[in-house]
Structures are given as C-alpha cells and as structure tokens.
C-alpha cells in the first residue's frame, strides 16, 4: 500500500457510525471460554479456502453475503475465534461429517474479533464454516465502501490493514493465505471486478451473477471486490523474456474519467516490463486490472486488481510533471507489491515494514527506469530525509517492532516504514552492490513463493548473497533501533575522524545508540565506502573539492562538519547531484534545529543551491529558511525582509523562464523545466507574495471561473485559486465550494476544497465548520476540510478548539484507512511549550490505548521542541533575517 494521506484541509455534517449488528452485550459465558485475542489469532483453526458469494448494489445502504470457509480444526473444540465487524449475522453453521451444527456469532470487541460457539464440541479435522449475513457499506475508504459520482453509485473494497472483517467473516490476518472463489451478484449492466479473471456473467432472479476463477493463495487483506458502471480501456502487456504470453490489462474508472485512461494503460505496460526484468520472473497473476476510486488516500496492491486514488491514474500527456511522477512512482510501488507482498506476504503485521519499505524503494527505482526524463528517483531521497524529522523524535518506534494489539497495526503505516525503510533498503543495496542485492531479493522470493516470510528470512538471503557477515547486524541496527545517526567529522585536508551519535534537537537528550553505518564519502571523482561500526574511526580520502559526507545521498544519516568544510560544501551546492544536495540541505537545517549552525549559513545555502538545475535540489535550497518561518522564529520586520529576499531570489529566475497561465502553454516542455517553473510560481505567489504575479494569477482564475476554459491551465489551480479567494473572501469561498462539488474532476475538486480550507481567513473557516451544509460533500472530504483549517496558522487556534470539541465524531466519521492513526498530525503546526502541554492534557486520555496514541506523543514532542527552539533563537534569527538584502 502506498499510504498517501490526502487530507489537505471541516466536517460539515457527520453521519452516525454504523451500529454493530452483532450481539449487543456478549454473554459472559462466551467470553469466559478463553481470553479474547487482542491481536494475532491462535492456530486452533486454519483456513484452507474461501467461497465468497456477495450481493452488491452500490446504490443501497447495505450489501449481503453467503460465505463458506473450508478450515481445519487442530483439536476438538466448542468455539472458533475469527473476525467480523458490524456484520448482521443471520445464520452461522459448521458443516462437518455430513452434519450441520448451528453456531452462535458474537462480536467480542470493536476491532472485529468474533467468537463462533456451538452447542456441542466439533471434532478435530476438516470443517466448513458457512455464514449468511448483511452489513453496511462504509462512506469512507475502508472495508466495502460506496461513493456517489455524478448521478451514479460505485462500490469498492479497501481491506488493508484489518478492514476485510467489515465485508465478510474470516481469519483476517496476513499469515493465513488461501485461495478465494468469488461470486458477485449485481444489478444488471454493472461491471464487477475481483482478483481473478471473470469466467461468466449470467442472469439469476433479476441480477447479473459474475463468477470469477479461483485465486492463487491470498491473505484476506488482498481480496478485491469492485462493482459499478465503470468505464474501462483494455489492452495487453506484450510478452517479455520472463513471460511468453500477453498479460491482459485494463484501466477501470468512474465514467467521468473515461477520456483520460490511455496514459495509465500505456504507462502500466512499461512498468510491468521493468518489474519482470528486475525480479527475473513473470507477473504472478493471470490478469491485471488498475482501478480508481475518488476518495482513496493513496493506492492498494490487491493481487491482480490494484486500486488507486483517481488522480494517480486519470491523466494524459498534458499533465504536470509532479502528477506524472506520482503515477510512475506509485504504480511501480503497487505493482512491485504483486511480487513482494502478494506473492510473498509477511507472516504478521510486525514485518509489514519490509513489504512497504521494499516497495517504496522499488517504486522510485522502477519509476525512474520507466521515465528517466521525469527524474522520479531523487524523490526517494527527499522522502527519506523528511522521515528523519519524525525519526529524530524521542517518541516513536523502530522500523521493525512487535505488534501485539489490533490498535497498533495502523501505526506501522507511517513515514518510518515508507521513508526511512525505503532509504535503509537503498543504503544496503548501494553498499552491497546492485547485482548482489538483486540476487538476494530473487533468492528470498524463490524460497517463499505463494507463501509467507519474515524479516529474518529476508536478512538471511541478503547475508548469504553478500558473503559478508557484517551485513546482517548492520541492517538490524537500522530496522530494530529508533533514531537518526549523526556522524560528526573533525579534521580536514583529506584526513578525518568521524564519530557517531544519535541526532538530537535542541533541548532533548536521546539515549546512547550505535549503528553499523554504511558510510560513503566523496571528494571530486574519488568515492570511498566503509562500514562504521565503532563509536569513532579515522578515515582518509584524497581527491579534490569539498568533502561530501553522504555520497549519492543514499545513506540514512545526518552529518556535522567543521565550519570551513561546511562553507566549501555550501559553495559547491549549486552543482551537487540531487541526492547529495538534499543531504546537505537536510543536515544543515538539522544542525540549526540542534543549536549549532547559524542563520547566515542557511541564507548562503539558499542563495547558492537555488541555482541547482535539479528540481528536488533547488526546492530544498530554502528548506532551512522555511523552517524559521514555520517555527515562528520571524517577527514582523523579519517576515517582511524574508519576503523581499524570496522575491529577489526567484523573480529573475521566473523572468528567464517566462510565465503564461493559459491552457497548454507549456505542454511540450521538458518535464524538469516545467516543474521548475511551477516551483517558482508557487514560491513567488505564496511566501514571497509577489503582487504582480498574484494579480496575473487572480485574473486568470476569475476568467476561468467565469467560463473561459482556456484562461487557466490546471497546473496553476493550486497557485491561482488561493489568490482568487484571498481577493474575494467569503463570497468566493461559497462559489468555489459549489463549483467543486458540481465537478467530478480528480484534479480540480480536491484542490478547490483544499484551497477553501487553507484560506487563512477566519470568517471562511467559521462558515466552513459551523454553517456550510451540502449533501454532495463526501464524508472523507468533510474530514479533510477540518484538517486544512487547523493547518493554517491564521485559523489554527479556532480549528483546534473545533477539533477538540468534535474529536469523537471525527474518529468515527468515515475518514477511511489510517485516518485515526494520523489524526493528531493536524496539530503539528503549533510551536509552543505551553501548547504542547495543552494538547497532551486535552487529548492524551482520549487517545490512550487507541489508534493515534503514538502519533499524539510525536505531535506533543514536535510542538514542544519547536517552542524550545523559538524561545532560544527567535531574537537572534529575527535580527539576522531583518538585515537581509
């Protein structure tokens, strides 16, 4: 799963959570039979095969099902523990030895742990568990959910992590893999999609009956059930050296998107081909459907039936660079999972990090191979350094950690798993060498094909191929320990002493930690790698030019340099490769946050590295100065000076590039150049508040909203619509909301909603949260709007008070996968020791023991640390920035 939490921005009207359709108060006798599993089920019952027969009409509030599970009972028992959440169970029986034994279904906890009890003990051996039930569709992207798009209803499944239990009874954990035979009964004329090829469509009792071939062994969370009046485009992935037959391929989307599916069809063909080459084997399943849904926050790797948020697949050749980059990276990530995650699946959720970390690395790597011109690969390093900001906190977790309770599972899908984990994979691959690492991956895949595996299995395969016993403990030092290594260099002239410690922000003292760091250095053309396992070591590196302490940027560590070495590195930053430039920007900013580097160094880096030709590097040039503004270290004169500085830095660049907001003005342009122009416009129209550019954007937005479709290219929506709103206030917000909700466009609608929420206008924020009502606003969109109000500094206090008063409604309000786990992130923008204590006081007991507990601890620490930095350095910083010319 590529979990992209798309919450750019008020809950206008919450629907009540679906009432549990199980026993309201489970009998004490049922609970007393055995402890209720809080996480992993026992192996007392092992599923061997599923038959799912569901009646699905997305236009209705509920669906129904008949499910049969072939299982094996390990010993004689009068009950079976399994999963099912909010299922109205009409009938449950055990079919054994030609006898039907009726059972009683009881849901035991809110996460969906259930117990099936019988009046007589069932003997050990084979049994078929049969169920008849109905259940509610979800309004948010979890379980079996439905959405109204235009005048039609569509339904999709999203089961990772533990939401399959909201759609059918089963043993909902990744260690159980078995074939599924799926039948979907739908209103006539609808398209149905599942993991395996559709065998037939017949008509029974006025419904279309779609029967699918049995799947290969799958865990419950990878089952796909999609129904709706979809538009489809079909093709084939041509044969490859690994596959001698064409692979059937379809892009499946809502009808309004029908004209923009060709790019995804062609792009998917190329990505599949590159992946087959890397893994050295054919695509694992009989067909591939790529499906979209308008409210999914990211994408999901259902075997043979991947699911994506609309804008990832719905695009054409005129789409902006960043959207094409997202397509390449996310599609390569999800399709990489078809092998690494679907074909070989983690045995339990504590190893989901390996599944996601590897796929994250693979997404950037294969995406870059598919379209080198889009420069997708450098995004992996940018994501990794962003993850360090979370990993540097004292509150947190290692990549690989025990998961004992269901409430802990969703916390594993965070930036530590994706950003840090992906970089650790890249670091080991770079140290081992690409060929050896690939050979280790292939060995691991071959040993566990169609089965389950653990991190230890993966590490073992790598150690065997590497022939270096140090690799295993080095990898585990990064996966099993929290924190970011800080490598401090002393000396110069090619002879250095490097000392490792754990990076700490100003005012914090982390525990002593040591890693096995694959350290790669560069001076000029000379590159040298070593494995740093001791606290300190001497290193020598000849060559010319400044010391680059993280060659290629692939290392997961930060560095500190003597001032003279910093100055040489900053002076060279305009010509550094993107990964190294990103490493420099991250380490210098982190040095300032720790109380070491100063404002003049941040300014020098911004002036120099802004000219770097790589768009990731040039965007990171002002990362440190952004931190000063976001952390409230700038007083009013300093803020004005900072705006002037940004204008002076970027206005001449945009003048050289030129700017025309009209549709299609730059469609034939080089992707990097187009992305660079977008960054310049966003900087000048936003933080720099360049009035001439803002007037141009505002006029274009007004003309576009007045009906001139050629006046504003969609690439400028996120820059022009905020200006239009800023000029025209509440009336513009009302108009924009109506236009957004009347549209199904996967780019315009979410951008417009985000712009309204992030307006920074208190009148608009109050209207949005307290007064606005529109039934066209989807449940997940309502929640996302609240986040935007809280995220903007000008409306943050009001938004926090509103969120605090509506917390339980938000947690139950249909946000979908991982929303509850990430909800406290809404408050990350605060910067105050006192506010940190207030947040802990208000929310601590309400999230204790629940999904979101870890993220709250992180948020409280971020807010406190920011307050400490502001208190310590605001006077110094404001004085220095105010002198900028």
| Whether the Cβ atoms of residue 517 and residue 545 lie closer than 8 Å to each other | no
**pLDDT tens digits for 274-317?**
999 999 999 999 999 999 999 998 999 999 999 999 999 999 99
Residue 460 confidence (pLDDT):
87
DSSP letters, 339-399, are HBTTTEEESSGGGHHHHHHHHHHHHHHHHHHH-GGG--THHHHHHHHHHHHHHTSSS---S
pLDDT at 3: 56
Tokens 């064409």, residue? 246
For residue range 455-495, what is the model confidence (pLDDT) as tens digits?
Answer: 989 988 988 898 877 877 888 899 999 999 999 999 988 89
pLDDT digits (tens, 9 = 90+) for 250-272: 999 999 999 999 999 999 999 99
Return d(Cα 853, Cα 567) in angstroms, integer.
42
DSSP state of 178: B
Q: Supply 217's token pair.
A: 């062994």
- Report the pLDDT averaged over residues 590-611: 97
Dihedral angle of Cα 465, 467, 472, 475, to the nearest 10 degrees = -70
First to last CA, the chain: 47
Q: What whole-number distance in Å separates Cα of residue 600 and Cα of residue 596?
A: 12
Instruction: Band the pLDDT of 10: cuts 50, 70, 90.
Output: very low
CB atoms within 10 A of CB 13: 12
Strands (E), 414-478: 451-453
Distance of alpha carbon 172 from alpha carbon 452, whole angstroms:
15
- The per-residue pLDDT for 814 is 67
Rounded CA-CA distance 652/674 in Å is 16
Q: What is the mean pLDDT of residues 431-436?
A: 89
Query: How many CB atoms within 10 Å of residue 91?
Result: 12
The arithmetic mean of pLDDT across residues 117-146, rounded, is 96
Summarize the confidence of residues 123-127 as an average pLDDT: 97
Task: Give the pLDDT of residue 701.
Answer: 98
* Tokens read off for 43: 């192996």
Element housing 764 (H / E)? helix 762-766
Render pLDDT for 732-744 as a digit per residue (tens, 0 to 9): 999 999 999 999 9
What Cα–Cα distance (Å) separates residue 877 from each residue in 469, 597, 624, 871, 873?
Answer: 48, 12, 12, 11, 6
d(CA 312, CA 740): 19
Model confidence at 26, pLDDT cuts 50, 70, 90, reads low
Closest to 377 (Cα-Cα) out of 339, 342, 332, 346: 332
CB 68 within 8 A of CB 47: no
For residues 796 and 766, is the Cβ–Cβ distance under 8 A?
no
d(CA 738, CA 297): 23
């Amino acid at each position: 799963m590529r979990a992209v939490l798309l919450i750019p921005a008020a809950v206008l009207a919450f629907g009540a959570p679906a009432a549990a359709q199980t026993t309201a108060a489970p009998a004490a006798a049922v609970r007393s039979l055995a402890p209720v599993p809080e996480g992993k089920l026992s192996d007392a019952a092992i599923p061997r095969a599923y038959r799912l027969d569901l009646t699905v009409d997305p236009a209705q509030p509920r669906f129904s099902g008949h499910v049969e599970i072939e299982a094996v009972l390990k010993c004689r028992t009068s009950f079976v523990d399994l999963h099912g959440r909010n299922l109205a169970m009409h009938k449950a029986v055990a079919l054994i030895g030609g006898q039907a034994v009726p059972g009683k279904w009881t849901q035991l906890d809110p996460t969906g742990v259930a117990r099936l009890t019988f009046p007589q003990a069932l003997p050990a051996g084979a049994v078929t568990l049969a169920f008849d039930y109905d259940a509610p569709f979800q309004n948010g992207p979890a379980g079996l959910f439905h959405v109204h798009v235009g005048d039609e209803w569509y339904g999709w499944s999203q089961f990772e992590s533990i939401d399959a239990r909201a759609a059918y009874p089963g043993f909902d954990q990744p260690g159980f893999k078995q074939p599924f035979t799926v039948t979907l009964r739908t209103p006539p004329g609808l398209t149905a999609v599942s993991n395996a090829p559709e065998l037939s469509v017949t008509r029974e009792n006025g419904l279309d009956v779609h029967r699918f071939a049995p799947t290969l062994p799958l865990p419950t969370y990878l089952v796909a059930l999609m129904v709706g009046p979809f538009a489809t485009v079909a093709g084939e992935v041509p044969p490859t050296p690994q596959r001698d037959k064409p692979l059937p391929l379809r892009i499946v989307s809502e009808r309004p998107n029908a004209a923009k599916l060709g790019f995804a069809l062609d792009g998917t063909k190329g990505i599949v081909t590159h992946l087959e080459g890397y893994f050295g084997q054919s695509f694992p399943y009989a067909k591939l459907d790529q499906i979209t849904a308008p409210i999914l926050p990211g994408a999901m790797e259902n075997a043979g039936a991947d699911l994506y948020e609309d804008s990832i697949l719905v695009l054409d050749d005129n789409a902006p660079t960043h959207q094409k980059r997202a397509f390449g990276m996310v599609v390569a990530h999800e399709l990489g999972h078809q092998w690494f995650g679907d074909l070989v699946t983690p045995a339990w959720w504590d190893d989901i990090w390996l599944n996601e970390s590897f796929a994250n690395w693979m997404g950037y790597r294969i995406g870059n191979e598919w379209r080198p011109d889009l420069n997708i690969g450098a995004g992996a390093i940018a994501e990794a350094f962003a993850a360090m900001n979370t990993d540097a906190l004292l509150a947190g977790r290692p990549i690989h950690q025990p998961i004992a309770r269901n409430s802990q599972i969703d916390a594993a899908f965070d930036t530590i798993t994706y950003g840090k984990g992906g970089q650790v994979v890249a670091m080991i691959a770079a140290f081992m060498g690409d060929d050896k690492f690939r050979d280790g991956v292939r060995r691991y895949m071959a040993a566990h094909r169609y089965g389950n595996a653990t991190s230890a299995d993966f590490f073992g395969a790598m150690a065997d191929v590497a022939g270096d016993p140090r690799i295993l403990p080095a990898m585990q030092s990064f996966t099993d320990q929290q924190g970011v290594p800080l490598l401090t260099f002393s000396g110069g002239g090619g002879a250095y002493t490097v000392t490792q410690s754990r990076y700490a922000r100003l005012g914090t003292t982390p525990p002593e930690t040591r890693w096995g760091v694959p350290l790669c250095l560069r001076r000029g053309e000379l590159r040298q790698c070593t494995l740093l396992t001791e606290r300190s070591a001497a290193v020598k590196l000849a060559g010319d030019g400044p010391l680059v302490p993280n060659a290629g940027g692939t290392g997961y560590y930060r560095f500190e340099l003597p001032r003279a070495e910093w100055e040489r590195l900053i002076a060279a930053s305009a010509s550094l490769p993107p990964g190294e430039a990103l490493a420099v920007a991250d380490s210098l900013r982190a040095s300032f946050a720790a109380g070491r580097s100063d404002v003049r160094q941040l300014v020098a880096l911004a002036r120099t590295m802004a000219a770097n030709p790589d768009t990731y590097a040039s965007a990171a040039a002002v990362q440190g100065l952004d931190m000063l503004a976001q952390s409230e270290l700038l007083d009013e004169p300093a803020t004005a000076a900072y705006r002037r500085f940004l204008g002076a830095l970027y206005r001449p660049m945009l003048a050289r590039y030129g700017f025309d907001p009209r549709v299609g003005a730059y469609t034939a342009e080089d992707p990097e150049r187009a992305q660079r122009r977008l960054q310049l416009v966003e900087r000048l129209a936003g933080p720099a508040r360049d009035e001439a550019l803002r007037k141009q954007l505002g006029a274009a937005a007004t003309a576009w909203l007045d009906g001139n479709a050629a006046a504003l290219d969609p690439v400028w929506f996120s820059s022009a619509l905020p200006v239009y709103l800023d000029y025209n206030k509440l009336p513009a917000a009302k108009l924009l909301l109506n236009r957004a909700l009347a549209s199904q466009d996967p780019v315009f609608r979410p951008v417009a909603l985000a712009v309204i929420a992030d307006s920074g206008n208190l009148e608009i924020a109050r209207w949005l949260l307290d007064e606005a009502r529109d039934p066209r606003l989807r449940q997940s969109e309502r929640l996302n709007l609240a986040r935007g109000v809280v995220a903007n500094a000008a409306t943050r206090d009001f938004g926090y008070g509103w969120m605090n008063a509506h917390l339980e409604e938000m947690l139950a309000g249909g946000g979908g996968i991982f929303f509850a786990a990430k909800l406290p992130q809404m408050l990350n923008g605060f910067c105050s020791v006192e506010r940190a204590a207030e947040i802990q006081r208000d929310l601590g007991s309400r999230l204790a023991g629940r999904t979101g507990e870890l993220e709250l601890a992180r948020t409280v620490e971020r807010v406190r640390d920011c307050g400490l930095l502001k208190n310590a350095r605001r006077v110094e910083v404001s004085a220095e920035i105010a002198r900028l010319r």
